[in-house]
Amino acid sequence: MRSLAAPIHCKILFTGILAAVLGALPTGAWGQVKPPTLVVSAEGLADPNFYKDRTLAYDEALRDAKRQAVEKAVGCFVSSETVVENYSVIRDRIVSKSQGVIKEVRKVVNGGVQPDGFYHVWIKAEVYTVPLRNALQELSKTERISMIKERGNPTFSVGLEVLSPDTSWKRMECDVCNAEIQNRLKNFGYKIISEDDAVRLREERLKLMLSRGFSQEIANVFIKKASDISVTGMIKFKRSPEIEIAGVKVRTTLLTAWSLEAVDNHASEVIFSENFRPPRGTAYNDEDEAVMEVGRKVGNLFSKDIFKDYVMRPSHDILLTFVGIRDRDLAKMMKRELLGLRSVLNVTFREFLAGGETVFEVEFGGSRESFTDILDGVVLESLNRKYGAKTFAIQEEHGDVVRIVVNEEKALSRETMDEGVPTQLVGAVAEGRIEEVVKSPEMKAKYEDVLDL
């Protein structure tokens, strides 16, 4: 079992974060601002031997499911290790607040007493998340770049075009504007690649995924452009009527309109779209001066607002394939195992392929950068503790696609899946969590060895 002997400064920091989180939670009306939410699936457990009455066991399992949903949401903003090491703080601060944190319980599945001996309840709930806007605005550049890297260090591709008399009214890439935007985004801490490179790298990843046996549909869903965000738009200019100044005839450049769109290439979601029309009479000496101004405006917009709204998104999707589960029913049961893990927010069973490949779309809480640690320290550790050391191993990890091979197929029997200890209670489990669930002498005796009781 892990101890709670975390560094004092870590606990103080986490307590401060948690206090800010809870202080931002709804206490009544939210006013005019709609609070951000996150949909989370969670599994609640109760010891029916302790509660005796099945109704009481159900009520406790439902309460536990709500607590797990809230704790999963908190885990989207701090590392899994921090959650484990500070579990008593989370429990004390969140349990009493869980009713206010959960906006709506969308679905409840009453599983009753399962073969493992626990009373199970599964829920899908909409949970209020943490508005970090104000805190992020105060970050220094060093802190901001560090946080950008922690959240997956998103890559931008920029491709604005210009339409003007100088281009003979043909759409042409706006090199000056794009360079200005790219420089500002780089200075803020983001990675930048060209649109051409983004498209080329996507084609290469598509070919690789198809060569691994995935269907075209699955490949198209998960292999997007190599950039995380594509910024595109159109800038329109015209010439002013010719006027005479001090005997010299001159014409100025007028910026008539410009449009802007940003697309999250992973979710195929337009995260920003707007048309702009500058004040009448705004003139520039030439197009370069005008596009530099547009570039500055766009760069400022995306370096600030997109950092707050996109980079700090609390979750990400991974295509998780298990190779070697030959039984389709067992493959579907693996969904339940994954849902029990703290870092897993939602699981969708996508495909059962010939040759024993099972494809899940899994939404993980936290940053893409921390996913490898979650995969090794939470997912694989928990599964291997339940089914036997080295039963599961990573065969391939490529971008948002991960393949896990099952080395010991016999370990995945229906009996083991049904009657073995719930996955959420093995592996990287916080001290205090097991004591919350395993209460009766009968259950303690049953799981004494595997849970180190």
Over residues 150-174, the pLDDT tens digits come to: 545 678 888 888 887 776 778 888 7
- Please determine, for residue 86, whether its predicted confidence score (pLDDT) is greater than 80: no
**Which residue bears the tokens 């100044």?**
245
Please, are residues 74 and 90 in contact by the beta-carbon 8 Å criterion?
yes
- Please determine, for residue 1, whether its predicted confidence score (pLDDT) is greater than 50: no
Confidence of residue 29 (pLDDT cuts 50, 70, 90): very low
Give the per-residue pLDDT at 30: 29
Mean pLDDT of the chain: 75
Give the per-residue pLDDT at 148: 52
Coil, strand or helix at 319: strand
Cα torsion through 171, 228, 217, 391, rounded to 10: 160
Residues forming a β-bridge with 275: 259
Report percent pLDDT > 70 for the chain. Answer: 70
Q: What would the pLDDT profile of 111-132 be if each residue is shown by its tens digit?
A: 999 999 999 999 999 887 653 3
Q: Are strands 102-113 and 155-163 parallel, antiparallel or unpaired?
A: unpaired
Q: What is the DSSP letter of 342?
A: T
Q: What is the mean pLDDT of residues 201-222?
A: 81
- Please determine, for residue 189, whether its predicted confidence score (pLDDT) is greater than 50: yes
Confidence of residue 84 (pLDDT cuts 50, 70, 90): low
Give the per-residue pLDDT at 322: 93
Give the per-residue pLDDT at 121: 96
What strands lie across the sheet with 344-353, from one edge to the other? 344-353, 357-365, 315-323, 401-406, 392-398
- Please determine, for residue 97, whether its predicted confidence score (pLDDT) is greater than 60: no
Give the per-residue pLDDT at 49: 93
Please, are residues 69 and 125 in contact by the beta-carbon 8 Å criterion?
yes
Q: Which residue has the higher pLDDT, 175 or 348?
A: 348
- Please determine, for residue 450, whether its predicted confidence score (pLDDT) is greater than 80: no
Give the per-residue pLDDT at 102: 82
Report the C-alpha gap between 230 and 226 in whole angstroms.
10
Report the C-alpha gap between 327 and 336 in whole angstroms.
15
Give the per-residue pLDDT at 408: 77
Please, are residues 422 and 340 in contact by the beta-carbon 8 Å criterion?
yes
Give the per-residue pLDDT at 116: 93
State residue 215 phi and psi, 5-degree precision.
-75, 160
Give the per-residue pLDDT at 136: 35
- Please determine, for residue 57, whether its predicted confidence score (pLDDT) is greater than 90: yes
Report the C-alpha gap between 173 and 178 in whole angstroms.
8
Give the per-residue pLDDT at 273: 79
Confidence of residue 3 (pLDDT cuts 50, 70, 90): very low
- Please determine, for residue 2, whether its predicted confidence score (pLDDT) is greater than 60: no
Give the per-residue pLDDT at 113: 95
Give the per-residue pLDDT at 349: 92
User: For the chain, which residues make up each domain, given as ranges?
Assistant: 8-132, 134-311, 315-446
- Please determine, for residue 363, whether its predicted confidence score (pLDDT) is greater than 80: yes
Give the per-residue pLDDT at 204: 87
Residue 146 neighbours by CB under 8 Å, 6+ apart: none
pTM of the predicted protein model: 0.59
- Please determine, for residue 11, whether its predicted confidence score (pLDDT) is greater than 70: no
Q: What is the mean pLDDT of residues 32-61?
A: 84
Q: Is 321 exposed, middle or buried (0-12, 13-18, 19+ CB in 10 A)?
A: buried
Q: Which residue has the higher pLDDT, 11 or 123?
A: 123
Please, are residues 303 and 185 in contact by the beta-carbon 8 Å criterion?
yes
Give the per-residue pLDDT at 100: 61
Q: What is the mean pLDDT of residues 79-106?
A: 62
Question: Per CATH, which fold does 134-311 belong to?
Answer: Rossmann fold (3.40.50)
Confidence of residue 146 (pLDDT cuts 50, 70, 90): low
Q: What is the mean pLDDT of residues 241-258?
A: 72
Q: What is the mean pLDDT of residues 184-213?
A: 80
Give the per-residue pLDDT at 453: 62
- Please determine, for residue 45, whether its predicted confidence score (pLDDT) is greater than 70: yes
Report the C-alpha gap between 71 and 369 in whole angstroms.
20
Give the per-residue pLDDT at 311: 53
Q: Which residue has the higher pLDDT, 138 or 250?
A: 250
Q: What would the pLDDT profile of 284-301 be if each residue is shown by its tens digit?
A: 777 777 777 777 777 776
Across 202-211, 305-314, 411-420, 427-436, least confident range: 305-314
In DSSP notation, 101-161 reads HEEEEEEEEEEEE-TTS-EEEEEEEEEE----HHHHHT--HHHHHHHHHHTT--EEEEEEE
Output the CA–CA distances (angstroms, integers) from residue 257 to 151, 178, 187, 271, 441, in the order listed: 34, 17, 27, 21, 73
Q: What would the pLDDT profile of 413-435 be if each residue is shown by its tens digit?
A: 888 888 888 988 886 566 678 88
Confidence of residue 326 (pLDDT cuts 50, 70, 90): confident
